[in-house]
Amino acid sequence: QVQLVESGGGSVRAGGSLRLSCAASRASYMGSYMAWFRTTPGKGREGVATISSNGVNTIYRDSVKGRFTISLDSAANTMYLQMNSLEPEDTAMYYCATTLHPINPSYALMSSEYRYWGQGTQVAVSS
């Protein structure tokens, strides 16, 4: 079992920044990933970024590359998502997720690979 708690959401103007945090109740499983997903009424759930348990491998969806940075503080069992140059299209509920089995990097942005989810934190970006 893993408990995940997100924080850091809020409301900003376009071009602004936010940093999301995801505190986990235990260390990452070797070979697994921790990820950020977001959901909107129109687009459903989409993978935003993911990071390997050793913090070496990161994967981003194309629309956030160059703007978002995912990182992992293994000592604190906490994952972060630094979001810069925010756009109204980034408005969503953001969730962190992880699992206790190895994940093939090719599937690391697929929600079906993750068993444990946080409660979400809302991000609203106005134009």
Q: Are 52 and 73 in contact (CB under 8 A)?
A: no
CB environment 44-65: b (16+ within 10 A), e (fewer):
eeebbbbbbbeeeebbbbeebe
- Pick from 117, 111, 95: nearest CA to 7: 95
Those residues with Cβ within 8 angstroms of residue 104's Cβ, 6 or more apart along the chain or in another chain: none
pLDDT in tens, the chain (127 residues): 999 999 999 999 999 999 999 999 988 888 899 999 999 988 899 999 999 999 999 999 999 999 999 999 999 999 999 999 999 999 999 999 999 999 999 999 999 999 999 999 999 999 9
